[in-house]
Every structure is written in C-alpha cells, then in structure tokens.
C-alpha cells in the first residue's frame, strides 16, 4: 500500500477514491434491490449461462483460428543444399517445441540465450569438428545476415501486430511497470471489493476468469507466433550464414542467366537461367531421337552409326521467344569420347537427368556401373542431386516385334505386347536400382512416336520443382564465384588507390633514425 501511495501521492489516491465511490456503492444498492425483489438468483443464473455460452463460442473461434492459421511464414530456402534442409528440420522442431513460458518475450536475457542456442545448433551442424563453431563466419556476411533478419522481422511485426507502428519502447516499458505495480496491489483491491460488495465481487471474478481466458488466449497466440517466427528467422539466416549460402549483394536475381555456362545461341534478352536437362546413355540408345521427339522437329543428328554425337551439344527449347530449357546431348558413355571427368563435369551442371536405355538390350552391367558412379559423384550433402528419370526406348522392338497398336494399358497389362513392356520396365528398374515409377517407356521411331508428349512430359513436370531447386543452387554457386572475384578486384583496386594517395616518402619518414 505504501508503494501505491508513494507512486501516485495521497491527493491523487483520495481523488481516485472519491471518484469511484459512487461506482462502488451502485453494485451494493443493486444487490440489495435484487435480493429484495427476488431476482438475485435469476440474475446469477443468467450470468452463469451467458459466461458458459461465451466460453463455448470462444472455443469454437479458437478451433477455427487454429485451423486457418498458417503454420509459419518462414520456409526453407529453395536454393538450399540437402545438408541445409537437414539442419532446417532441427530448427523447425525447435520452433514447434518452444513456448512463451520457457522463453518469455519480455525477458531480453532469455531471448539472447535462445538466439545463441539457435546459432550454436546451426553452427555445430555445419562445422561439427570445430571447437568454436560459432566463430566460423565472415564479418561481412554476419553483418548482412543481421541486417536482413532485422528487416524481415520488422516487416512481420508491422504487418501482423495491430498498432505496432504506434507503439514505442518507452510506452511498452511504462505499461510493463504499471502492470507490475497493479498486479502487486491487486489483492488489496479484490479483498476490499469482496468485503463491501460480495455480489459484485463474485460477478467480477467470473467475468475476470472468462475474459482473461479469451484475452490471454489471443495474447498467447500472438506471443507464441512471434517466438516461433523469431526462432525460424534466426535459423533461416544462420543456415544461410554458416552453410555458405548467403550473398552480400542481392541486386541481381538469383536465377539470372549464368553467362559462364551459357551456350553460344543464348540471347541477351533471356531474363532467367534456363533449366538444364542432360541426356545420358550408351550409344544408339536413342538420345538424339529423344531430343527430336521432345522438340517436335528434327534438331539433332540421328544416324545408325555409333557415336553420332561426338561432343556435348546443347539445344534450346523456346516458347514465346523465351528460353524454357536447354537440353544437352552427350556421346555414348560406352565409347572413347565420354570419360569419367566429362561425366562429372556435365552432370554437375545439370538440373534434370534423363538416362536413356534400350528396352530390348538386357546387358545393363556397364550402365549400372556408370549410373552408380554418377550417384556417387552427386551424393554430396553440400549440393542437391538432380532428379533422375530413366527413359526406356525401343519398346516397339519387344515381342511380338511386328505388333504395334498403341496405346497400351499397363496396369494391369492387356495383351502380350503390354505384358512385355511391363516385364521390361521391371527388369530395367531392378538392373539400374531405380524406382519403377521413374522409368518411362517410349517409342521414338519416326512413324511410331509414343508416350513422349503425355507420360514423359508429365513425369518431367512432376520433377520440375526439384529440378528448379537444383537450378537455383547452381545459380547461387555461380553468383558467389562472381561476387568473390568482384570483391577481390574492388578491394585490390581500393588498396592500390590508397597507397598511391600517400605522400612520397611517408613510409620512410615514419621509420626511426638509426
């Protein structure tokens, strides 16, 4: 009580008491009147029913809000590696488990401990062998991450928290202090009200219980959302920072054309780096014919002689004068023109791989060896492996060879030819150790093109999102290489200008006399 009087002063306390005296007297006289009129019991019953109905409606609103509320506004980066995706799963779990009781938002020290916990989790994931993984960062990237995280969190608060643009830190501090003061002396007020107006006190306590549940739920939802977004924002930018995925300069779009890998036919008007589709397989498996079928016109050499394609050749797939993709034809890996280094280099720049195999050739030991070699090359957690589709060609040569009456129903197979196609699919999937759903049977003969426009294009479309992730990561590597060289030349140039601007003999003048 002394603290309350000291805070407000005797005169202000007396003024407040005189002001609220009629309000205190009104419930007392009202209670007496209802008791004398025999309405007190009915009124209490009405209060209980209204409170119960309000709680029920609030519960329905809570359920609807929880269903409609998005789980999070922060998602894993589309340009991230498999290693980064694995780390993001830990951050998501940490955010889902976080509660405001464990990490109160009004406790700055607690939030700092939480931030360190998030950063340490990410840093340890990417640098497990370091004694101090938190220090494995560059200064410019650290400052960039702080700037971006603060900007994004600011946008989230301004967009989602009502009146946040009018709320000052001083008003928050004053409100917190006043709340603590009122809460400390709240017991005296409630006790006095219970003595002078017991009926009013009972109603007020019921209203307090109902109202606080409704208000506290909204407050807790907002605080929990803020806390979890805080964790996700920190985790997202920490993964960018410690995973080496952040760029200092973001003026140029990530998916801008990579001129280092551009083909001579690339146009300056191309706004985005096109998707790169790589065709692999043995000689005469039908790679060049597949390109012709995909383009709908003859754009690559087709010949019965082995090794028609003597070098890697790119073909542009255009629609509405915009490049939609680049398809690269390669020599057969069973020839002398396509060694392991060529395979590694070309596969490293591919976003989607089409492995072409002939349905009528059962000797796939070398194919399996090359495919396993390719898988080993791409099994790097610091990159995203491109999705793989196996295109099974020459299905028209399966028994009975003279029968060709498409379309063929494969599930379940109807007819001898369909049964042979299914058997070939199972054999290819087992021989190459791939899922049978990723093996697409096609015919590429000039007058028998079958299953390209529908099944193969549909399968490529399903894998387009995964291929785009690989494309963005490839673009990121290219952007970071350019950025590193640009920064190095800029720093060397500035250092040279500083040295040239120094007065002549200044370096010797600073030396002590012998």
From the list 372, 349, 314, 355, the residue with the least C-alpha distance to 470 is: 349
The least confident of 59-63, 111-115, 200-204, 283-287 is 200-204
User: What are 437-470's pLDDT values in tens digits?
Assistant: 999 999 999 888 999 988 999 999 999 999 999 9
Max avg pLDDT among 37-46, 126-135, 302-311:
126-135
Check whether 83 has a pLDDT greater than 80.
Answer: yes
The least confident of 15-29, 182-196, 217-231, 342-356 is 182-196
At 341, is the pLDDT very low, low, confident or very high (cuts 50, 70, 90)?
confident
CB 398 within 8 A of CB 415: no
**What tokens does 236 get?**
């997202």
CB 442 within 8 A of CB 458: no
Check whether 377 has a pLDDT greater than 60.
Answer: yes
Q: DSSP 3-state assignment of 100?
A: coil
d(Cα 433, Cα 58) in Å, to the nearest integer? 55
**Does this model's pTM top 0.85?**
no
User: What are 142-195's pLDDT values in tens digits?
Assistant: 777 777 777 777 777 777 666 666 667 666 666 666 666 666 666 655 565 555
User: 275-470, superfamily in CATH?
Assistant: P-loop containing nucleotide triphosphate hydrolases (3.40.50.300)
Sign of CA dihedral 123, 101, 149, 65: positive
**What tokens does 7 get?**
């805070």
d(Cα 326, Cα 47) in Å, to the nearest integer? 72
Q: Which residues of 128-162 are buried (b: 16+ CB within 10 A; e: fewer)?
A: eeeeebeeebeeebeebbeebbeebeeebeeeeee
d(Cα 329, Cα 313) in Å, to the nearest integer? 5
Q: DSSP 3-state assignment of 8?
A: helix
Q: DSSP 3-state assignment of 40?
A: helix
User: What are 282-336's pLDDT values in tens digits?
Assistant: 988 999 899 888 876 555 555 444 444 556 777 877 655 555 678 888 888 876 6
Domain with CATH 3.40.50.300 in the chain: 275-470
Q: How far is CA 343 from CA 50, 288, 387, 476, in A?
A: 75, 17, 16, 22
**What tokens does 86 get?**
């694995």
CB 470 within 8 A of CB 351: yes
């Amino acid at each position: 009580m002394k603290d309350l009087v000291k805070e407000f002063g005797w005169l202000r306390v007396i003024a407040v008491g005189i002001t609220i005296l009629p309000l205190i007297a009104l419930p007392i006289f009202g209670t007496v009147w209802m008791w004398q009129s025999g309405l007190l019991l009915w009124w209490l019953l009405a209060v209980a029913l209204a409170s119960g109905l309000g709680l029920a409606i609030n519960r329905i609103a809570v359920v609807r809000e929880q269903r409609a509320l998005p789980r999070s506004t922060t998602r894993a980066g589309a340009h991230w590696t498999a290693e980064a995706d694995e780390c993001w799963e830990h951050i998501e779990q940490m955010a889902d488990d976080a509660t405001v009781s464990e990490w109160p938002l009004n406790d700055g020290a607690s939030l700092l401990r939480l931030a360190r916990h998030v950063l340490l989790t990410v840093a340890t994931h990417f640098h497990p062998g370091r004694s101090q993984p938190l220090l494995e960062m560059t200064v410019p990237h650290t400052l960039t991450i702080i700037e971006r995280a603060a900007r994004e969190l600011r946008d989230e608060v301004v967009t989602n928290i009502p009146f946040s643009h009018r709320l000052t830190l001083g008003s928050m501090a004053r409100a917190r202090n006043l709340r603590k003061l009122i809460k400390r002396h709240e017991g005296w007020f409630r006790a006095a009200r219970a003595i002078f107006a017991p009926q009013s006190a009972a109603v007020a306590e019921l209203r307090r219980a109902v109202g606080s549940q409704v208000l506290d739920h909204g407050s807790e939802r907002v605080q929990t959302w803020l806390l979890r977004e805080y964790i996700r924002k920190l985790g997202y930018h920490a993964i960018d920072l410690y995973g080496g995925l952040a760029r200092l300069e973001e003026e140029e779009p990530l998916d801008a054309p990579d001129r280092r890998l551009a083909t001579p036919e690339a146009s300056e008007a191309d706004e985005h780096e096109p998707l790169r589709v790589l065709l692999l397989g043995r000689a005469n498996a039908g790679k060049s014919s597949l390109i012709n079928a995909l383009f709908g016109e003859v754009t690559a050499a087709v010949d019965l002689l082995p090794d028609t394609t003597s070098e890697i050749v790119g073909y542009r797939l255009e629609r509405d004068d915009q490049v939609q993709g680049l398809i690269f034809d390669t020599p057969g890996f069973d020839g002398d023109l396509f060694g392991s280094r060529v395979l590694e280099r070309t596969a490293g720049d591919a976003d989607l791989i089409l492995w072409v195999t002939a349905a009528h050739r059962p000797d796939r030991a070398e194919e399996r060896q090359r495919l396993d070699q390719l898988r080993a090359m791409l099994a790097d957690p610091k990159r995203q492996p491109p999705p793989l589709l196996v295109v099974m060609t020459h299905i028209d040569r399966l028994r009975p060879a003279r029968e060709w009456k498409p379309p063929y129903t494969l599930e379940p197979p109807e007819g001898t030819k369909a049964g042979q196609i299914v058997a070939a699919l199972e054999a290819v999937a087992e021989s190459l150790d791939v899922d049978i759903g990723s093996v697409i049977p096609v015919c590429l003969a000039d007058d028998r093109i079958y299953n390209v426009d529908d099944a193969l294009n549909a399968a490529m479309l399903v894998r387009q999102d995964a291929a785009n992730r690989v494309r963005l990561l490839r673009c990121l590597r290219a952007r970071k290489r350019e950025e590193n060289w640009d920064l190095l030349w800029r720093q060397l140039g500035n250092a040279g200008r500083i040295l040239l601007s120094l007065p002549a003999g200044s370096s010797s003048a600073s030396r002590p006399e012998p």
